[in-house]
C-alpha cells in the first residue's frame, strides 16, 4: 500500500473540520516545495573577492584597554 493510500484511509475517518486543516497543511507543503525547487543551486566561491576583513580585525579595541 502506498503512502497516499494510507493517508487517504486515515483522512476518510477524520471530521470535516480536521480534514480541512490537513488540506491546508498539504497546500503549505506544496508551496514550500515549489519555492525550494525554483531556486538555482548555490555556486561555491561566487562571493570571492566581494568580502574583505580589515588587517586589524583581531586587534584589541581602545574602549576595552581599562579591562585588559
List, for residues 6-36, the tens digit of each pLDDT value. 989 999 999 999 999 999 999 999 888 876 6
Residue 65 has pLDDT above 90, yes or no: no
- Whether residue 11 contacts residue 19, with contact meaning beta carbons closer than 8 Å, is answered with yes
C-alpha cell at 63: 574602549
Q: pTM of the full predicted structure?
A: 0.48
What is the model's pLDDT at position 6?
Answer: 93
Q: Where are the alpha helices (DSSP H) in the chain?
A: 3-12, 16-38
Query: Of 36 and 2, which is predicted with more confidence?
Result: 2
Alpha-carbon span 20 to 65, nearest angstrom: 63
pLDDT at 37 over 80: no
Amino acid at each position: 500500500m502506498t503512502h497516499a493510500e494510507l493517508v487517504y484511509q486515515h483522512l476518510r475517518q477524520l471530521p470535516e473540520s480536521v480534514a480541512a486543516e490537513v488540506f491546508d497543511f498539504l497546500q503549505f507543503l506544496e508551496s514550500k516545495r515549489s519555492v525550494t525547487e525554483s531556486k538555482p543551486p548555490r555556486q561555491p566561491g561566487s562571493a570571492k573577492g566581494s568580502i574583505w576583513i580589515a588587517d586589524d580585525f583581531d586587534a584589541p579595541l581602545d574602549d576595552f584597554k581599562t579591562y585588559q
